[in-house]
Amino acid sequence: MPPASRILRLLAFAVPAALTLAGVQPVMGAATGSIGPGWAAELAAPAIIAASFLFLAARRLDRGDLVQPPWYSAWLLFPGAFFLAGAASMCIIGALVDFPTIAPTMWALVAVGTLAWTGAIAIVGRASR
């Protein structure tokens, strides 16, 4: 079993990577002509920017294998991960249909998820011993 710090680093990479992959889906939808380019940009830009911010925050706050995260790390990371998963699903749905409530919902989920995830990563990083 790998140390908890390695699993945490893997998770800190996987969440932004999944959000980036979902954020690219509207661009692919626009490339195939199923949705308009403006709609694709409205969905893709915040997801990709937030994923970049999350990845950079995780890299900045990583302290390596010298310290191990506390036992409650997963409980701190769950809320942000769920909000970001919701944002990712809005991107994927938005790549298929142009429905007016998708964009504001996705923007709200990205904002709340980014704050929750970054805050949790910061708390876990500080509490690691």
DSSP sequence for the chain: ---HHHHHHHHHHHHHHHHHHHHHHHHHHHHHTSS-HHHHHHHHHHHHHHHHHHHHHHHHH--GGGS---TTHHHHHHHHHHHHHHHHHHHHHHHH---TTHHHHHHHHHHHHHHHHHHHHHHHHHH--
1 has a pLDDT exceeding 80: no
The pTM assigned to this predicted structure is: 0.90
89 has a pLDDT exceeding 80: yes
Alpha-carbon distance of 47 to 111, in angstroms, equals 10
**pLDDT for res 119:** 93
For residue 25, give both structure tokens: 């889906």
Greater pLDDT, 114 or 128? 114
Alpha-carbon distance of 89 to 108, in angstroms, equals 13
Q: Predicted confidence band at 51 (pLDDT cuts at 50, 70, 90)?
A: very high
**pLDDT for res 39:** 94
Tell me the pLDDT of the chain averaged across its residues: 91
Minimum mean pLDDT among 43-47, 67-71, 113-117: which range? 67-71
Q: What is the mean pLDDT of residues 102-106?
A: 94
Chain centre to alpha carbon of residue 8 = 14
